[in-house]
Amino acid sequence: MTQRIAFQGALGAYSHEAVLNARPDATPVPCNGFEDVLAAVKTGAADLAMLPVENSTYGRVADIHRLLPESGLHIIDEDFVRVRIALMANKGQKLEDITHVRAHMVLIPQARAFLDAHGISAETAADSAGAAAEIAIKAEHGVGALASAVAADIYDMDVLARDIEDLGHNTTRFLLMSPTPDRSRRADKMLTTFVFQVRNIPAALYKAMGGFATNGVNMIKLESYMVEGKFTATQFYADIEGHPDDEDVARALDELGYFTDRLEILGVYPSSNKRD
Protein backbone atom coordinates (compact mmCIF):
# COMPACT_ATOMS: atom_id res chain seq x y z
CA MET A 1 0.00 0.00 0.00
CA THR A 2 1.26 3.48 -0.88
CA GLN A 3 2.17 5.53 2.17
CA ARG A 4 0.33 8.79 2.77
CA ILE A 5 2.47 11.62 4.13
CA ALA A 6 0.89 14.73 5.62
CA PHE A 7 2.61 18.11 5.34
CA GLN A 8 1.78 21.75 6.00
CA GLY A 9 0.89 23.89 3.01
CA ALA A 10 -0.60 23.48 -0.44
CA LEU A 11 0.62 21.04 -3.08
CA GLY A 12 3.91 22.40 -4.37
CA ALA A 13 5.11 23.73 -1.01
CA TYR A 14 8.71 23.14 0.07
CA SER A 15 7.34 20.61 2.55
CA HIS A 16 5.80 18.79 -0.41
CA GLU A 17 9.23 18.82 -2.04
CA ALA A 18 10.63 17.22 1.13
CA VAL A 19 7.99 14.48 0.84
CA LEU A 20 8.98 13.82 -2.78
CA ASN A 21 12.66 13.65 -1.80
CA ALA A 22 12.16 11.30 1.12
CA ARG A 23 9.45 9.01 -0.29
CA PRO A 24 8.99 9.57 -4.07
CA ASP A 25 6.19 7.00 -4.27
CA ALA A 26 4.18 8.36 -1.34
CA THR A 27 0.83 10.12 -1.63
CA PRO A 28 1.13 13.71 -0.34
CA VAL A 29 -1.60 14.92 2.03
CA PRO A 30 -1.65 18.75 2.25
CA CYS A 31 -2.79 20.30 5.56
CA ASN A 32 -3.46 23.86 6.69
CA GLY A 33 -1.34 23.94 9.85
CA PHE A 34 1.19 21.92 11.81
CA GLU A 35 -1.49 20.75 14.25
CA ASP A 36 -3.52 19.54 11.27
CA VAL A 37 -0.52 17.54 10.04
CA LEU A 38 -0.24 15.76 13.39
CA ALA A 39 -4.00 15.23 13.57
CA ALA A 40 -4.01 13.65 10.10
CA VAL A 41 -1.64 10.94 11.34
CA LYS A 42 -3.48 10.44 14.63
CA THR A 43 -6.83 10.00 12.87
CA GLY A 44 -5.44 7.69 10.20
CA ALA A 45 -5.89 10.16 7.34
CA ALA A 46 -2.12 9.90 6.80
CA ASP A 47 0.52 7.34 7.71
CA LEU A 48 3.46 9.70 8.30
CA ALA A 49 4.09 13.40 8.92
CA MET A 50 6.73 15.64 7.32
CA LEU A 51 7.55 18.68 9.46
CA PRO A 52 10.12 21.48 9.10
CA VAL A 53 12.16 22.05 12.25
CA GLU A 54 14.82 24.60 11.37
CA ASN A 55 16.15 26.81 8.62
CA SER A 56 19.78 27.76 8.07
CA THR A 57 18.87 31.44 7.75
CA TYR A 58 15.91 31.92 10.10
CA GLY A 59 16.61 29.36 12.82
CA ARG A 60 14.05 27.03 14.32
CA VAL A 61 10.51 26.90 13.03
CA ALA A 62 8.07 28.44 15.51
CA ASP A 63 5.93 26.04 17.59
CA ILE A 64 7.56 22.86 16.27
CA HIS A 65 9.68 22.15 19.37
CA ARG A 66 6.59 22.60 21.50
CA LEU A 67 4.49 20.29 19.35
CA LEU A 68 6.92 17.40 18.82
CA PRO A 69 7.15 16.09 22.41
CA GLU A 70 3.36 16.09 22.78
CA SER A 71 2.61 14.68 19.34
CA GLY A 72 2.93 11.00 20.21
CA LEU A 73 4.91 10.58 16.97
CA HIS A 74 8.49 9.41 16.51
CA ILE A 75 11.23 10.70 14.20
CA ILE A 76 12.27 8.03 11.69
CA ASP A 77 14.19 10.09 9.09
CA GLU A 78 15.48 13.57 8.27
CA ASP A 79 15.78 15.44 4.99
CA PHE A 80 17.19 18.78 3.86
CA VAL A 81 15.64 20.97 1.16
CA ARG A 82 17.53 23.84 -0.44
CA VAL A 83 15.13 26.76 -0.67
CA ARG A 84 15.39 27.46 -4.39
CA ILE A 85 12.99 30.24 -5.31
CA ALA A 86 11.35 30.27 -8.72
CA LEU A 87 9.22 33.07 -10.15
CA MET A 88 6.26 31.51 -11.95
CA ALA A 89 3.27 32.88 -13.82
CA ASN A 90 0.48 31.70 -16.08
CA LYS A 91 1.55 30.58 -19.53
CA GLY A 92 2.20 32.99 -22.36
CA GLN A 93 3.87 35.67 -20.24
CA LYS A 94 7.45 36.90 -20.11
CA LEU A 95 9.42 38.18 -17.15
CA GLU A 96 8.99 41.79 -18.28
CA ASP A 97 5.20 41.33 -18.12
CA ILE A 98 5.29 40.67 -14.36
CA THR A 99 4.84 43.72 -12.16
CA HIS A 100 3.71 42.06 -8.95
CA VAL A 101 4.33 38.79 -7.10
CA ARG A 102 2.81 36.97 -4.12
CA ALA A 103 4.56 34.66 -1.66
CA HIS A 104 4.83 33.73 1.99
CA MET A 105 6.20 36.57 4.12
CA VAL A 106 9.43 34.65 4.79
CA LEU A 107 10.16 34.09 1.10
CA ILE A 108 9.86 37.66 -0.19
CA PRO A 109 12.92 39.11 1.62
CA GLN A 110 14.99 36.19 0.34
CA ALA A 111 14.46 37.39 -3.26
CA ARG A 112 14.57 41.12 -2.57
CA ALA A 113 17.60 41.86 -4.77
CA PHE A 114 15.99 40.20 -7.80
CA LEU A 115 12.63 41.89 -7.28
CA ASP A 116 14.18 45.32 -6.87
CA ALA A 117 16.37 44.85 -9.94
CA HIS A 118 13.28 44.10 -12.06
CA GLY A 119 10.96 46.66 -10.48
CA ILE A 120 8.57 44.02 -9.18
CA SER A 121 6.43 44.72 -6.11
CA ALA A 122 5.51 41.97 -3.65
CA GLU A 123 2.51 41.03 -1.53
CA THR A 124 2.48 38.51 1.30
CA ALA A 125 0.34 35.38 1.11
CA ALA A 126 -0.47 32.72 3.66
CA ASP A 127 1.30 30.10 1.56
CA SER A 128 3.60 30.42 -1.46
CA ALA A 129 2.31 27.34 -3.26
CA GLY A 130 -1.22 28.42 -2.38
CA ALA A 131 -0.52 31.79 -4.01
CA ALA A 132 0.56 30.00 -7.19
CA ALA A 133 -2.62 27.92 -7.13
CA GLU A 134 -4.80 31.01 -6.73
CA ILE A 135 -3.08 32.85 -9.59
CA ALA A 136 -3.54 29.80 -11.83
CA ILE A 137 -7.20 29.34 -10.93
CA LYS A 138 -8.01 33.01 -11.51
CA ALA A 139 -5.93 33.10 -14.73
CA GLU A 140 -4.29 36.30 -13.55
CA HIS A 141 -1.84 38.11 -15.81
CA GLY A 142 0.95 40.43 -14.83
CA VAL A 143 1.08 38.68 -11.47
CA GLY A 144 3.51 35.92 -10.47
CA ALA A 145 4.25 33.74 -7.47
CA LEU A 146 7.51 32.96 -5.70
CA ALA A 147 7.61 29.29 -4.78
CA SER A 148 9.29 25.96 -5.40
CA ALA A 149 9.45 24.94 -9.06
CA VAL A 150 7.39 21.91 -8.00
CA ALA A 151 4.41 24.27 -7.72
CA ALA A 152 4.82 25.39 -11.34
CA ASP A 153 4.60 21.78 -12.51
CA ILE A 154 1.51 21.10 -10.43
CA TYR A 155 -0.40 24.22 -11.47
CA ASP A 156 0.79 24.19 -15.10
CA MET A 157 2.60 27.52 -14.89
CA ASP A 158 5.73 28.77 -16.63
CA VAL A 159 8.89 29.33 -14.62
CA LEU A 160 10.17 32.75 -15.71
CA ALA A 161 13.23 32.81 -13.44
CA ARG A 162 14.97 30.21 -11.28
CA ASP A 163 17.23 30.35 -8.25
CA ILE A 164 16.49 34.01 -7.57
CA GLU A 165 17.17 33.79 -3.83
CA ASP A 166 19.72 36.24 -2.45
CA LEU A 167 21.52 33.57 -0.42
CA GLY A 168 22.72 30.38 -2.05
CA HIS A 169 22.88 28.35 1.16
CA ASN A 170 19.35 28.72 2.53
CA THR A 171 18.25 25.23 3.57
CA THR A 172 15.39 23.83 5.64
CA ARG A 173 15.68 20.67 7.70
CA PHE A 174 12.65 18.38 7.83
CA LEU A 175 11.77 15.45 10.08
CA LEU A 176 9.72 12.48 8.92
CA MET A 177 7.57 11.21 11.77
CA SER A 178 5.67 7.99 12.40
CA PRO A 179 3.23 6.69 15.05
CA THR A 180 5.60 3.73 15.48
CA PRO A 181 9.21 4.18 16.62
CA ASP A 182 11.99 2.60 14.59
CA ARG A 183 15.25 2.10 16.48
CA SER A 184 16.78 -0.26 13.97
CA ARG A 185 20.30 0.60 12.91
CA ARG A 186 19.79 1.49 9.24
CA ALA A 187 23.06 3.34 8.61
CA ASP A 188 26.58 3.61 9.97
CA LYS A 189 25.90 7.15 11.18
CA MET A 190 22.79 7.37 13.35
CA LEU A 191 21.26 10.31 15.22
CA THR A 192 19.24 10.35 18.42
CA THR A 193 16.88 13.21 19.28
CA PHE A 194 15.47 13.73 22.76
CA VAL A 195 13.96 16.32 25.08
CA PHE A 196 14.71 16.75 28.77
CA GLN A 197 14.04 19.00 31.75
CA VAL A 198 16.80 19.47 34.29
CA ARG A 199 16.14 19.16 38.01
CA ASN A 200 16.07 22.34 40.08
CA ILE A 201 19.55 21.95 41.55
CA PRO A 202 22.66 24.15 41.20
CA ALA A 203 24.60 23.66 37.94
CA ALA A 204 22.12 21.01 36.80
CA LEU A 205 22.61 21.66 33.08
CA TYR A 206 26.40 21.65 33.41
CA LYS A 207 26.26 18.32 35.25
CA ALA A 208 23.71 16.89 32.80
CA MET A 209 25.96 17.70 29.84
CA GLY A 210 29.05 16.27 31.52
CA GLY A 211 28.14 12.70 30.63
CA PHE A 212 28.26 13.44 26.91
CA ALA A 213 31.70 15.04 27.20
CA THR A 214 33.24 12.29 29.33
CA ASN A 215 31.83 9.55 27.10
CA GLY A 216 32.88 11.23 23.86
CA VAL A 217 29.35 11.66 22.47
CA ASN A 218 29.02 14.52 19.98
CA MET A 219 26.03 16.77 20.66
CA ILE A 220 25.21 18.58 17.42
CA LYS A 221 22.18 20.53 18.62
CA LEU A 222 20.96 21.88 21.94
CA GLU A 223 18.10 24.36 22.26
CA SER A 224 16.06 25.56 25.21
CA TYR A 225 12.49 26.83 25.32
CA MET A 226 9.93 27.61 27.97
CA VAL A 227 7.23 25.10 28.89
CA GLU A 228 3.65 26.35 29.15
CA GLY A 229 4.86 29.95 29.34
CA LYS A 230 6.61 29.44 32.67
CA PHE A 231 9.93 31.20 33.13
CA THR A 232 11.03 28.59 35.70
CA ALA A 233 10.29 25.53 33.55
CA THR A 234 12.83 25.17 30.78
CA GLN A 235 12.88 22.23 28.42
CA PHE A 236 15.82 21.31 26.22
CA TYR A 237 15.79 19.75 22.77
CA ALA A 238 18.95 17.90 21.70
CA ASP A 239 20.39 15.96 18.76
CA ILE A 240 23.38 13.69 19.33
CA GLU A 241 25.41 11.43 17.07
CA GLY A 242 24.98 7.75 17.83
CA HIS A 243 22.41 5.12 18.75
CA PRO A 244 21.02 4.51 22.27
CA ASP A 245 22.41 0.95 22.07
CA ASP A 246 25.95 2.29 21.65
CA GLU A 247 27.81 1.90 24.93
CA ASP A 248 29.00 5.51 25.04
CA VAL A 249 25.53 6.88 24.23
CA ALA A 250 23.86 4.55 26.76
CA ARG A 251 26.23 5.74 29.50
CA ALA A 252 25.72 9.39 28.61
CA LEU A 253 21.91 9.07 28.64
CA ASP A 254 22.09 7.14 31.93
CA GLU A 255 24.08 9.96 33.51
CA LEU A 256 21.68 12.52 32.06
CA GLY A 257 18.85 10.74 33.85
CA TYR A 258 20.32 11.57 37.26
CA PHE A 259 19.91 15.30 36.68
CA THR A 260 16.57 15.43 34.86
CA ASP A 261 12.91 15.36 35.80
CA ARG A 262 11.98 14.30 32.30
CA LEU A 263 13.87 12.55 29.53
CA GLU A 264 12.11 11.39 26.38
CA ILE A 265 13.67 10.06 23.19
CA LEU A 266 11.79 11.45 20.19
CA GLY A 267 13.55 9.43 17.52
CA VAL A 268 16.49 7.34 16.39
CA TYR A 269 17.22 7.68 12.68
CA PRO A 270 19.96 7.76 10.02
CA SER A 271 21.90 10.97 9.49
CA SER A 272 21.04 12.33 6.04
CA ASN A 273 23.82 12.30 3.46
CA LYS A 274 22.74 15.90 2.69
CA ARG A 275 23.79 17.01 6.18
CA ASP A 276 27.39 17.54 5.04
CA 217 to chain centre: 25
Whether 28 contacts 19, CB under 8 Å: yes
167: which DSSP letter? -
For residue 95, pLDDT beyond 70: yes
pTM: 0.91
pLDDT at site 229: 61
How far apart, in Å, are the Cα atoms of 49 and each of 83, 88, 91, 177, 266? 20, 28, 33, 5, 14
CATH number attached to the domain at 4-82+170-178: 3.40.190.10
The phi-psi region of residue 91 (left if phi > 0; otherwise alpha if psi is between -120 and 50; otherwise beta) is beta
Model confidence at 57, pLDDT cuts 50, 70, 90, reads confident
CATH classification for the domain delimited by 190-270, as one of 3.40.30.10, 3.30.450.40, 3.30.70.260, 1.10.579.10: 3.30.70.260
Encode 91-100: b = buried (16+ Cβ within 10 Å), e = exposed. eebeeeebee
For the stretch 128-163, pLDDT in tens is 999 999 999 999 999 999 999 999 999 999 999 999
Which helix (H) or strand (E) is 30 found in, with range? Answer: strand 27-31
The torsion angles phi and psi of 143, rounded to 5 degrees, stand at -125, 135
126: which DSSP letter? S
CATH architecture of the domain with range 86-161: 3-Layer(aba) Sandwich (3.40)
